[in-house]
Amino acid sequence: MCTGKCSRCIAVTLYPLVLASIICNIMLFFPGWDVKYVKDGHITEEVKYMGGLVGGGLVVLMPALYIHLTGEQGCCGNRCGMFLSIAFAALGVAGAVYSFIVAVLGLGNGPLCNDSGRCTTPFKNSNLTYLADSKSWGECTEPESVVQFNTGLFGALIATSCLQALLCATQMINGLFGCLCGTCNNKEKRPLDHLHSHHA
């Protein structure tokens, strides 16, 4: 596949992942679909690190936009643009890794919830064993179904961040090939096409 076209495919795939990451992080601020917990500051600590919003969201969006430009004809669709895309893709990997680490911590420590009348994280030292023991989820009486809520969204963030890191790493390799061999955009073929039409 042409390196320019590959860049476009990677960027187009990154956009929905960025959107999903941002949406998951925003939803995590409203456990039980209620705003009162965020108002009172009773939110799981890892949610406040905004791994999905900042890391998997804004930090990955910047490389996605630039990588898209390298796949187009113009100022970035050349060897120099491809070289710069390697640095941008590395930034994307860093953002995705940050999102992944925060999500793993959020999943590992479990949610902040009301346990016997006090706000605590009852599953913090369970080493993820609480995920297999659905009976223990009843310890969190409030917010409603917060364990399932956090598990689903942090799990989604882990999946999206892994895909983002994979795509950005692929672009680093693609950018290296593009830097060495060119982007093979139509612009590079035009002079030859013009000569053929002239002779015809």
Query: Can you tell me the mean pLDDT for 65-73?
Result: 79
Task: Summarize pLDDT for 167-178 with one digit per residue, the tens.
Answer: 999 988 888 887
Task: Summarize pLDDT for 129-164 with one digit per residue, the tens.
Answer: 888 888 888 888 888 888 999 999 999 999 999 999
> Residue 104 and residue 148: Cα distance in Å, rounded?
15
pLDDT for the residue 25: 94
Residue with tokens 């430009």: 69
Domain edges within the chain:
3-199
- Yes or no: say if 109 and 151 are a contact pair by the CB < 8 Å rule: no
- Output the pTM of the full model: 0.83
Overall residue count recorded for the chain in this entry: 200
Question: Which one has a higher pLDDT value, 92 or 190?
Answer: 92
Residue with tokens 């053929």: 196
Residues 6+ apart with CB under 8 A from 69: 75, 76, 77, 81
Strands (E) across the chain are located at 113-115, 118-120
Q: pLDDT category, 183, cuts 50, 70, 90?
A: low
Query: Can you tell me the mean pLDDT for 103-130?
Result: 86
pLDDT for the residue 29: 93
Query: Can you tell me the mean pLDDT for 81-104?
Result: 91
Helix (H) or strand (E) holding 120: strand 118-120
Take residue 131 and report the two structure tokens written for it: 């995920």
Assign 115 to helix, strand or coil.
strand
